[in-house]
Chain A
Amino acid sequence: KQEVTQIPAALSVPEGENLVLNCSFTDSAIYNLQWFRQDPGKGLTSLLLIQSSQREQTSGRLNASLDKSSGRSTLYIAASQPGDSATYLCAAGGTSYGKLTFGQGTILTVHP
């Protein structure tokens, strides 16, 4: 059974810092790895999707990498802003149709 772990559980940084969120998964036979953002009381917003054949994806200030062999993914956020404050979730896609196994999330607070 796939297990996904995120470290750290919570992170507080001053505005402008670059930061890295970590995600590890136990079963390397994944179809993809996705990163989501969740704001309080709201659903999830997809940030980046890395297919199993890819090593990284970039969108604006976000960069996600994937190392299947070691069961790890990282989300890099450059020049953090208070608006980046949210819970960040990574999820491993274990089937061809997209069934996701989520980590517990990292709560990020960026203070001015």
Chain B
Amino acid sequence: GAGVSQSPRYKVAKRGQDVALRCDPISGHVSLFWYQQALGQGPEFLTYFQNEAQLDKSGLPSDRFFAERPEGSVSTLKIQRTQQEDSAVYLCASSLTEVTDTQYFGPGTRLTVL
């Protein structure tokens, strides 16, 4: 009965490096969301998966951002050639169904790009 877990919890990257952030949703949850939260702001939507299908990626800020969920469970958010403006907390959330439902959030990964 564990909740949503994310790893790593903290990541420091040099500008230009690639990073990969992992999300383990609650088992059996169909929907998975990624959000980006800048300091002092509310989270902003990045992308949505229904099982393994990425149905909405309208929030990804550039083509340097890529997300996948190949088997419909674990998801990875990859950021290529990181830039300072990518520094933020990346939150993952899952919900049981494919329709409007309570979203359960993980603790987030704090990314700092130097």
Count A interface residues, CB 8 Å: 27
Q: Mark B42-70, 1 if CB is under 8 A from A, else 0.
A: 11110010100001100000000000000
Contact partner of A96 (CB less than 8 A), chosen from B4, B45, B100, is: B100
Contact partner of A46 (CB less than 8 A), chosen from B44, B45, B104, is: B104
Interface residues of A in 25-52 (CB under 8 A from B): 31-32, 34, 36, 41-46, 49, 51
Interface flag for B106 (CB, 8 Å): yes
Task: Using A43-B91, A43-B105, A46-B104 as known contacts, say yes or no to A97 and B55 having CB atoms under 8 A apart.
Answer: yes
Residues of A within 8 A of B55 (CB): 97
Residues of B within 8 A of A31 (CB): 100
Our count of residue pairs bridging A and B at CB distance below 8 angstroms stands at 70
Instruction: Say whether A98 contacts B100, CB under 8 Å.
Output: yes
Count B interface residues, CB 8 Å: 28
Residues of B within 8 A of A46 (CB): 102-104
Main secondary structure of the interface of A (DSSP, over half): strand
Residues of A within 8 A of B91 (CB): 43-44
Interface flag for A4 (CB, 8 Å): yes
Interface flag for B98 (CB, 8 Å): yes
Interface flag for A85 (CB, 8 Å): no
List 18 contacting pairs A-B, 8 Å CB cutoff, sorted by A. A4-B42, A34-B103, A43-B91, A43-B107, A45-B105, A46-B102, A46-B103, A49-B102, A89-B42, A97-B48, A97-B50, A97-B99, A98-B48, A99-B48, A100-B103, A101-B45, A102-B42, A102-B43
New contact pairs (12) apart from A43-B91, A43-B105, CB-CB < 8 Å:
A4-B42, A43-B106, A44-B105, A49-B102, A89-B43, A97-B48, A97-B55, A98-B100, A99-B48, A100-B103, A102-B42, A103-B42
